[in-house]
Structure 1
């Protein structure tokens, strides 16, 4: 990460790295980042990629995950996160923010944002959280039009287009498998199998579908949480932890605020805070200072009185 203001690893290089990772036999672990600083921390912690969750972006805006966010908001946050890390960034693009033509524009905007790929889902628009009851999916042919439009608009062939299917919880796992096969035939590079319940269901999906697969290990949902090693042994290629870091952070925020309101100061939390020196390290303060000293040319003698 030589550049101070953006990664020096090009978007195409990161897309190629993502594709290589998906085909490496090693599962690609992608925690969800709710800010650019979190994305940088994910990289320093040694993960293979960064995920941008639509649910997290909505929550950060104090909105529920029911399709209220816009393409501009998602692309803007994705761009901020992608510039802060060298890792591939995968973005939740919901249903493509409209009809198939909107899905095509979504791919174009996210390519311009510098991310490695995005996923489009087969829910009706507006969508809802994938682990809630009452979801509805569109007919398969409409989802195929979404994928085809997205694939046709893609300018960089290395950009990863992932198709998410929510059909397992609506039509059953066999129907979800048939949809996944059709989505792959339409050009999807990766299949996101949403809201499967047990390892046996993940194994059944893996045995039936011959393209890279992504698992969602979100808390408090319908899926029994599995380790990355277990998913890798089943044959999954990527795993996301979409809301984990936001939930951890907000849990700490609520606890700290309660303590501060009750005690009147924050001293009880000092040892649990990220130290200022560590924050400055993540922000690369010393490198910015060195850069500033190299280019700062102001002198009072240079300006007339």
Structure 2
């Protein structure tokens, strides 16, 4: 397949070795506004799609088909602006990953992000995450790399190992994934500046960092991130949180109530606005059922 202008543009931006700042988009208007305000790239946030498109928390409830539909619409709205698109765990075994990558490829994304969490995954800035074995995720990467029709379609490999296994394990995984062929490496949720710097020094690949409002990672400046060797900084929550604040304020003005009771201060607070507590209660309830009852 001939490469697209958006994919070539992302390659060219990476070659400049200047930090690419990618706002988080989740619907048509956020994509259009990102393009019209002069941003050079965008990031389709899975958390934003889950919340805005389906009223769901980012805990693995949105399907591959639902995500692929949203990818097509956002990529079309962005036009030649490169879209880095969240594809969670790839939605299953390697053959499922192949189908996911093919769908995102046809939609015209410039990069696909895949992660090494156990399914169902959780937002990277929530507790209690689990990761698969390194070899299992290397199979995911192999499937993704083989499935793409264009080498300019970048594969972003994300590891969530920092929280459950520690930073050493996360860095080891990051380098393994780079050696397996991933184009960009994403170590999720470093917890302080020293960890951000260490990842920059010790991971031998173009690096992506995730800057979530109220999340676990310090919100460092673009200048410092570039100095430490990062290639891409995604800001998945900025547009979503401001839109949420605006909606809460408007709704509470209509019935003369106080928006302060609803305003989130962390990712967990935000996801509780779309039912996370109730969904996790269901997960706990059915996890305790005796399968012999069937």
TM-score of the aligned structures, taking structure 2 as reference length: 0.84
Residue 81 of structure 1 is matched in structure 2 by: 74
- Cα deviation, residue 11, structure 1: 6.0
* 1:174 maps to which of 144, 168, 175: 168
* 2:35 maps to which of 18, 43, 57: 43
After superposition, give the CA deviation of every residue in 1:132-157 in whole Å (9 maximum; x if it has no partner): 11100000000000001110111111
Task: Within 5 Å, give how 1:273-284 maps onto structure 2.
Answer: none
2:102 counterpart of 1:104: no
Partners of 1:215 and 1:113 in 2: how far apart?
24
Structure 2 spans left out of the alignment, 5+ residues: 258-294
* 1:29 maps to which of 10, 18, 21: 21
Residue 261 of structure 2 is matched in structure 1 by: none
Partners of 2:154 and 2:97 in 1: how far apart?
14
2:149 counterpart of 1:155: yes
Give 3-state SS (helix, strand or coil) of 1:262's partner: coil
- Cα deviation, residue 261, structure 1: 2.1
2:181 counterpart of 1:187: yes
Task: Within 5 Å, give how 1:238-249 maps onto structure 2.
Answer: 238-249=232-243
Residue 53 of structure 1 is matched in structure 2 by: 45
Contact 1:11–1:115 (CA under 8 A) maintained in structure 2: no
- Cα deviation, residue 16, structure 1: 1.6
Give 3-state SS (helix, strand or coil) of 2:181's partner: coil
Residue 129 of structure 1 is matched in structure 2 by: 123
Partners of 1:128 and 1:257 in 2: how far apart?
29
- Cα deviation, residue 23, structure 1: 2.5
Contact 2:27–2:74 (CA under 8 A) maintained in structure 1: yes
Task: Within 5 Å, give how 1:228-247 maps onto structure 2.
Answer: 228-247=222-241
Residue 60 of structure 2 is matched in structure 1 by: 67
* 2:134 maps to which of 140, 145, 160: 140
Task: Within 5 Å, give how 1:109-120 maps onto structure 2.
Answer: 109-120=103-114
Contact 2:26–2:48 (CA under 8 A) maintained in structure 1: yes
- Cα deviation, residue 235, structure 1: 1.1
Superposition CA RMSD, Å: 1.4
After superposition, give the CA deviation of every residue in 1:210-233 in whole Å (9 maximum; x if it has no partner): 210000000111111112222111
After superposition, give the CA deviation of every residue in 1:22-69 in whole Å (9 maximum; x if it has no partner): 231211111011212211211222222011111111111111111111
Give 3-state SS (helix, strand or coil) of 2:4's partner: helix
Contact 2:27–2:49 (CA under 8 A) maintained in structure 1: no
Residue 293 of structure 1 is matched in structure 2 by: none
TM-score of the aligned structures, taking structure 1 as reference length: 0.81
After superposition, give the CA deviation of every residue in 1:264-297 in whole Å (9 maximum; x if it has no partner): xxxxxxxxxxxxxxxxxxxxxxxxxxxxxxxxxx
Contact 2:3–2:150 (CA under 8 A) maintained in structure 1: no
Q: Specify the structure having the higher radius of gyration (Cα).
A: 1
2:215 counterpart of 1:226: no
> Which shows bigger deviation, 253-262 or 107-116?
253-262
Partners of 2:94 and 2:121 in 1: how far apart?
15
